[in-house]
């Protein structure tokens, strides 16, 4: 089943009025992509006909298995139900980055408890998207301080309609609507540029980047153990989602990749928001692909072509066999690049 990305907006009523039968994996994955290709196998084959789409997506993400990977003696990655969660653990407590979707909370809590009795001191949000921030309130209720870039708090405080919509085969437009988050889900501490935490013998450096995947993104550098968590600034091995509705810019994603490449060495573990754990070589390939994609679409756009005409030109035909097999296909990525130039 195939869906086209459109530039038009649609009201939530239009969205929910639609009686649409969808292939869940194809439809949902290119809104908020799944961590790994294997996730497709776990996706339900049919979505509800008049769904509360956001609730459905939460449940769908929660069908993913959670995998554990040790990145260093005191740093653990949990990967699965929405992004990748990284935990620094030790006598000073736990410091957690990102939090999966809400229905995954019991599994995440169990996994965190399994690391030891130390309380979670801080939960850090990499950006505002719900598959990374959904358990803010749970963490705060358990005593943690939620820390994020100031734009994350701003975006979570506002309503958003996803401007890149999908057209189902029957012609109905579908999109996502986000209500403002309740007060208890908002970050308690924010910063404007950078922030440093010292704990458990580690230095955690948080750095905002100019508009990239969204305008809320930070990367998290665990400096002593040589781990950099890029979250959704990096989709390892696949075309990325870039959010035109909250300030996403492809040039910003390229700049973020270049910045991390300047910090990384050949041993640096680079945590992607979606896709397997990466390294400098993976990130270099990702950056090079983005530069090629940006240049080609920029040329078409400056020649006066519409997004649909740019898609029809198939500018990524040679890239698709490598990058288009994951979450976003080549046609969709042409439109994402076009909208985020
Ligand atoms: Zn995201």
pLDDT digits over 285-322, tens only? 999 999 999 999 999 999 999 999 999 999 999 999 99
How many other CB atoms sit within 10 Å of the CB of residue 281?
11
The mean of the pLDDT values for the chain is: 84
Give the Cα separation of 63 and 8 in Å (integer): 31
Spacing, Cα 117 to ligand 1 middle (Å):
30
- Where is average pLDDT lowest: 45-54, 154-163, 227-236? 45-54
Classify residue 148 by its DSSP letter.
E
Instruction: Work out how many domains the chain is built from and give that number.
Output: 1
pLDDT, residue 33, reads 38
pLDDT, residue 338, reads 94
The CATH number of the domain holding residue 286 is: 3.60.15.10
Average pLDDT for 264-286: 96
Give the Cα separation of 127 and 151 in Å (integer): 8
Per the confidence metrics, is the pTM higher than 0.75? yes
pLDDT, residue 226, reads 98
Give the Cα separation of 307 and 63 in Å (integer): 34
Spacing, Cα 303 to ligand 1 middle (Å):
31
Spacing, Cα 34 to ligand 1 middle (Å):
11
Q: What is the CA angle 27-328-134, rounded to 5?
A: 65
Spacing, Cα 17 to ligand 1 middle (Å):
26
Range of the domain at 157: 4-339
pLDDT, residue 52, reads 65
Alpha helix ranges (H) inside the chain: 12-17, 24-29, 39-42, 53-61, 105-113, 130-133, 136-141, 150-157, 250-263, 280-302, 307-312, 320-323, 330-339
Share of the chain above pLDDT 70, in %: 80
Average pLDDT for 5-19: 31
pLDDT digits (tens, 9 = 90+) for 122-179: 999 999 999 999 999 999 999 999 999 999 999 999 998 765 444 444 444 456 788 8
pLDDT digits (tens, 9 = 90+) for 58-95: 888 888 899 999 999 999 999 988 889 999 999 999 99
Whether the per-residue pLDDT at 23 is higher than 90: the answer is no
Spacing, Cα 28 to ligand 1 middle (Å):
13
Q: Regarding predicted confidence, which is higher, 11 or 289?
A: 289
Average pLDDT for 239-248: 92
Q: Which pair of tokens denotes residue 313? A: 């030109």
Q: Could you tell me if 330 and 316 are in contact, meaning their C-beta atoms sit under 8 angstroms apart? A: yes
Spacing, Cα 253 to ligand 1 middle (Å):
12
- Exposure string over 170-201, b if 16+ CB within 10 A, otherwise e: eebbbbbbbeebeeebbbeebbeeebebebbe
Q: What is the CA angle 192-140-181, rounded to 5?
A: 65
């Amino acid at each position: 089943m195939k869906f086209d990305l459109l530039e038009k907006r649609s009201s939530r009523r239009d969205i929910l009025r639609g009686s649409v039968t969808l292939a869940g994996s194809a439809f949902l994955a290119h809104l908020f992509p799944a961590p790994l290709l294997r996730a497709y196998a776990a996706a339900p084959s049919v979505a509800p006909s008049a769904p509360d789409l956001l609730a459905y997506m939460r449940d769908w993400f929660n069908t993913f298995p959670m995998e554990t990977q040790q990145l260093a003696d005191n740093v653990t990655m949990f990967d699965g139900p929405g992004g990748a969660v990284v935990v620094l653990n030790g006598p000073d407590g736990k410091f957690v980055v990102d939090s999966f979707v809400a229905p995954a909370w019991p599994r995440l809590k169990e996994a965190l408890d399994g690391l030891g009795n130390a309380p979670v001191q801080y939960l850090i949000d990499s950006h505002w998207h719900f598959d990374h921030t959904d358990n803010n309130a749970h963490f705060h209720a358990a005593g943690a301080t939620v820390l994020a870039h100031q734009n994350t708090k701003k975006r979570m405080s506002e309503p958003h309609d996803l401007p890149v919509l999908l057209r189902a085969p029957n012609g109905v437009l579908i999109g996502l609507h986000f209500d403002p988050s309740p007060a208890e889900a908002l970050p308690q501490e924010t910063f404007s540029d950078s922030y440093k935490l010292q704990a458990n013998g580690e230095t955690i450096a948080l750095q905002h980047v100019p508009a990239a995947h969204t305008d809320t993104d930070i990367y998290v550098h665990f400096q002593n153990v040589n781990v950099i968590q890029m979250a959704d600034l990096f989709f390892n091995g696949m075309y990325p989602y870039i959010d035109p509705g909250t300030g996403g810019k492809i040039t910003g994603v390229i700049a973020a990749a270049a910045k991390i490449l300047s910090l990384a060495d050949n041993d640096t573990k680079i945590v992607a928001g979606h896709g397997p754990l990466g390294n400098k070589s993976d990130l270099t390939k990702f950056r090079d692909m983005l530069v090629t994609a940006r240049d080609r679409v920029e040329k078409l756009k400056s020649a006066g072509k519409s997004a649909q005409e740019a898609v029809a030109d198939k500018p990524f035909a040679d890239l698709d066999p490598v990058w288009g097999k994951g979450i976003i296909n080549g046609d969709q990525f042409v439109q994402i690049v076009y909208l985020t130039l």
